[in-house]
Structures are given as structure tokens and as C-alpha cells.
Amino acid sequence: MKGDELYALLRRRGVLWPTAEIYGGAQGLYDYGPLGAKLKRRIEEAWTAWFVGLSHDYYLIEPAEILPEAVVRASGHLENFTDPEVTCENCHQAFRADTILEKVRPEGVDGLTPEQIADIVHEHRVRCPNCSSTALSVPKPFNLMFGLDFGVTGRERVYLRPETAQSSYLSFPRMWDVGRKALPLGVAVVGKAYRNEIAPRQVLFRMRAFTQTELQIFFDPSHFPLPFGRVRDESLPVVRAARRLAGSEEVEHVRAEELVSAGALPDFYVFHLVHSYHFFRDVLKLPADRLRLLEKSDQERAFYNRIQFDIEANLESLGGFKELGAVHYRGDYDLGRHGQGSGRDLSVTQTGGRSVLPHVLELTGGPDRYLWAVADLLLAQDGDRTVWRLPPYLAPVTAGVFPLIPKAHRAYALRLADELAAAGIDVQYDDAGTIGKRYARMDEAGTPFCVTVDGETVSDGPNRDTVTVRDRDSKTQERVPVASLSAHLGASTRSPRPARA
């Protein structure tokens, strides 16, 4: 499905729409409707269960979204959190350099100097997407942070956090004290981040306010015990940086053990790369043949990252592979910088008296992008119906409840819907139109089950107090006693949990 078609469907079904839509919208900002808000919440809960559930020493926190200037200065964001901006000197529109060059340089512009980017622009006579002029400026760095005036006088400068990761680094000393005072220690955040994007685009993929799911794992680089044997035989669809530099982006299926032995990657890194890949394949249920793990080269990754693989999905709506998440080995950069900035030694003393400044492994991604990916890859045409094949534990509505004949069966169906809701099952009552149209609405919304109250339900016959339960994907129907209905439906709504590391 093309991007504009998918967006139109999601908007029509109340998944999402532009912020301040009646005023023409606000670029890079979107509101989630009833289906979208529930689906996004389900995705966030599934992520938390999968990543925070990996260890007894991994914790979820909820820090503030505003950071003092001293924090973003120490982290490097005040100086380095920039994108190269190209401005048209004719119409004065501003564009990201990688956006304006995506046709002539699809690999992006990471690692290039402004002068090198300008040479590419002039060599290929790149035109302004707005007015077609070739009068484009030499790229200049544009800081993406939102600054705020803070306090009564407004003289104190603060910033909306550009990423949730900084909050975890700032919380590390306190988490060390409230935890078991042992490494590895994981600190997770699911929350908003804010970036003043030069040119927001691709709907949920490049926004100015978005949600991040990030787990920062603080560990001793000399000792990170993990059950690597559990994943050593896993086959991963990787694109190594060396092959890309040689001109090939062909996916290789490589065993995890080979990435360690022949690929010179640490086993702790590969273990978590496998775990992250499994989230997209086994929890979000994205097709394995549409996923790849793309290694970033020294020139492409951020200067503080020692190793980086992006987890990408091939999305028809956005024209190819797009990043959903990543695994970053950041070394001791973050605690080192904040130690210098705060004047506090962030080293910790472990059992035996050994002092260490922890390194950080970051598992990062974004629920907004996850939601778009499950729409792109799991919404499908099945004959004359549109079906959103969401896993039941992600579906915004678990079951539609219908009276076959509204006048005769409405009271029973409404009472049943209330009972299921009281039992914790998300249901939606619907008696509008034919039963076929009700099924179609639920299929399109991703609802895995439809429950129909009919004449047999309210009769004195053998099927009294039973209902018809229809499965979304197979369209098969079975009669289920009302007394066991909540257990029948609820069994499918628990998201996968990992084995503890």
C-alpha cells in the first residue's frame, strides 16, 4: 500500500490524524485517536515486557522531559546535535541535506563535511523540491533542540530533551543506590523526545515530538555474564559494513556465533542484537523476510558509538528499508561526560573493592515507527476485505460483540459486553448495519475475535448461553459457553515474555 493510501486509511479509522487538524495541521505533529492510542500503548507494554523483563536488574523509570542547559552541554548535544541544512536562495525553503540528496546519494550524508555535501549538490545540479531552482546554499549545521525560557524571570535556559537516554544516565547514581549495587544494571525509559526537525516527513518516521523506547544497560566491560549459548545458533539477516563499502547491500544470513568468532563482535553485543531482532520478528510479528540488521561504518555512526547495527524493515509505504531501532555500544562516553560536567565521579565500587566506570549498551527504538511498520506490513487485502493481522495482544480491541438481530438480542449482547469489560477484556459493541459489515469493520481495525449473540443464545435449547466466536484470520466460527468466554478470549492477550538472562 502506498504511503498516502495507508495514511488515509489510518486517519479514516481514527488511528491518527494531524495535530490541530481544523487549523490545517502542524507540521511534524500528530494526534492518536482511539485505535491508535490503544495500539501504541499495547506496543509500549509489549516492549517493556520484552526488554525490561530480560533481567531482574532492569528497571523502568519515568524522568522529567525538561533538561537544564548544563546537561545538554555536557552530553554534547548543545554543540553536536545538528543536521546539515540546505536553504534555497530563491524561495528560502530549508531542507535536510540527506533528504534533498536521497535520489543521488541514497546511503545518506553521515560523515561528510559541509563542503563535500555542497560538491555533491553542485555536481548533480540538485534542484529545490519546492521551486526547482538550483540556487542552493552551502550546508550549515542546524541544532535540533527546542530551547525554553525557564522560571519567573525567564533567564534560565532549559531544553526539551532530544532523547530519553540522557535521563537514564543522569539517574544512574540514584539507581545504583536503590538497586542491588551490582552490574549489569538496566535503566529503561518509555517517553517523549523532542527535535526541531528541519523538514518533518514520512508521517510517523520523522516528527518533532515522538516517543522513544530505550534501555540503557550499564555494565563492567571486563565481565558481562550472559547465557550466550541460548542464541549462538540463531541466524541473523545482516548487512556488514565492509560489504556495503564494497558496493553490496545484499543480506547475509549469519549465525550469532559466527558474528562473535569471525566478525569480531563481543558476545554481549550479539546476544542483545538477537534479542532486539526477536522483538520485531516474534513480538511485533513483522515478516522475517522484510527485516535486516544494517551495520554502520566508522564514518556513519556517531563518534561515541563503538558498534552500531540498525534494525530496518522494508516498508512499501515509505519506498524501502527504514530504521525501526538500533543497538549501540557507547562505551564509557556518557558517564564520563556527565562525570566531568557535574564534577562527580560516576565510577562504582563492585564486590571485591574493584572500581569501574560502567560502559553502556543502548537498545533503542520508537513506538511511533513500530506502529507505522505494523500497519504497513500487517494490513493486507484478503479478497474483498481489508484485514489488519495484528497479534491479539497488540490489538486495540480484543473482541467485537454483536447482536445478530438488534431488536431481539441487544439487551443480552450489551450485558455480555459489560461483563467482558469488567473481566478486563477490551470489547466494542456494534449493532449497526449487517453482520457482514460489522465483521469488515472489525477486520480492518485488527480485532482478532467477533462474538455474536443469536437466537440459540437466548433459547431454551442445548446452545442456550453460548455464543458464536469468529476468528479474524481464518474466518472460522465456533460456539463457546458464555461462562468460559472471558478465559477463552483472554488467553491470547498476553504478550510474549523473554527468558531471564
User: Span 3-81+144-379: which CATH code?
Assistant: 3.30.930.10
CB-side exposure of 183: number of CA atoms within 13 Å? 24
Distance of CA 171 to the CA centre of its chain: 23
User: What residues does each domain of the chain span?
Assistant: 3-81+144-379, 85-97+99-143, 389-490
| pLDDT for res 144 | 85
Cα distances from 422 to residues 396, 402, 418, 480, in angstroms, run 16, 17, 6, 19
| pLDDT for res 408 | 96
Cα distances from 389 to residues 51, 69, 335, in angstroms, run 23, 45, 43
| pLDDT for res 434 | 96
Round to whole Å and give the CA distance between 98 and 441: 40
Q: Phi then psi for 351, rounded to 5 degrees?
A: -55, 130
| pLDDT for res 352 | 79
| pLDDT for res 325 | 98
The verdict on pTM exceeding 0.85 is: yes
Round to whole Å and give the CA distance between 195 and 297: 25
Round to whole Å and give the CA distance between 322 and 180: 39
Round to whole Å and give the CA distance between 282 and 391: 10
| pLDDT for res 365 | 97
Q: What is the mean pLDDT of the chain?
A: 94
User: Span 389-490: which CATH code?
Assistant: 3.40.50.800
Those residues of the chain that have pLDDT short of 50 are none
| pLDDT for res 101 | 87
